[in-house]
Amino acid sequence: MEQKTTARILDGTALARRLREEARAQAADLPGPPPGLRVILVTGDPASEAYVSSKTKATREAGLRAETIRLPSDAAPQALLDEIDRANQSAEIDGILVQLPLPPGLDPRRIFDALDPSKDVDGLHPENVGLLHQGRPRFVPCTPAGIVALLEANEIPIAGKRAVILGRSEIVGKPLAALLTARDATVTLCHSKTRDLPTLCRQAEILVAAIGRPGFVTEDFVAEGATVIDVGINRIASLEEAPAHLRNSEAVRRSIEEKGKALVGDVDFARVSQVAGALTPVPGGIGPLTVAMLLRNTVIAARLGRGLPARD
């Protein structure tokens, strides 16, 4: 039997619901048609299909327009660039999102460079990256924006705190480091070459796991009372696929038996919850906030496209 959770659970679902309602109200106040989002998906990844489905559903429920362009998994780079150019030129499209990860053979940075920076609602164009690091963001990347919103909504102090981020990706680790630094945290950004990772992580008062390895962060990584943010969403279809320390998890076993899969984060929830002061669940933590921030950014893009300031 798994131990009872002692950490405070940070509910991303409830906050995301409020943020979606705010986006709905802001969109309704805009002149002209509802803001339009175009998602471009190079198919082949079931997880990406699921993410895109949830994003477009939430967008429409908030009163925005949403459409998805699907390209085959073996699409040539030029085919994707042509779709981006069409979206850039379309007066009906306010926001463009290219679903990541891309298949091998497609250079993400070449794709980021092709986006109209005023429609780049994931904040990946170099111009938007530069603005973020200068402390004057146009679009804040959705997942890091959701993390900061969750910390602030739960009144978890950032200024003066030691933050450790596991993962230096363009869409989570690097932009989150910029956001936390701008809020006066002292930030360490870790990666595959970082030495003595557990010792370094135990120094964190805010620990963020975004590396895509199921249950990687155990209680050995976590200081007593730390806030732990789990960005990972990993699908496990059988106990044999699970890391050894997760194979005895009652929750994982039950989910596989009942649903044919288990969704787990990068954090070993059962064990870390005995040490952490606050912890995000998977699912129901950062995932819903990523979608909510996409809606916010699409509204911002619509405001810019209509000659209005990005924010009131």
Is position 259 annotated as part of the catalytic site?
no
Cite the DSSP H helix spans in the chain. Answer: 12-28, 46-61, 77-89, 108-114, 126-133, 142-153, 173-182, 197-201, 250-259, 269-272, 286-305
Distance between CA atoms of residues 290 and 55, nearest Å: 9
Q: Report the DSSP pairing between strands 186-190 and 206-209.
A: unpaired
Number of H helices, E strands in the chain: 11, 11
Is position 161 annotated as part of the catalytic site?
no
3-state DSSP call for residue 271? helix
Question: Per the residue annotation, which of 55, 119, 161, 174 is the catalytic one?
Answer: 55
Question: Per the residue annotation, which of 122, 230, 266, 268 is the catalytic one?
Answer: 122
Q: CB-based burial of residue 218 (10 Å sphere; 0-12 exposed, 13-18 middle, 19+ buried)?
A: middle
Specify the amino acid at residue 245. H
Is position 78 annotated as part of the catalytic site?
no
Question: Per the residue annotation, which of 26, 99, 119, 174 is the catalytic one?
Answer: 99
Catalytic residues: 55, 99, 122
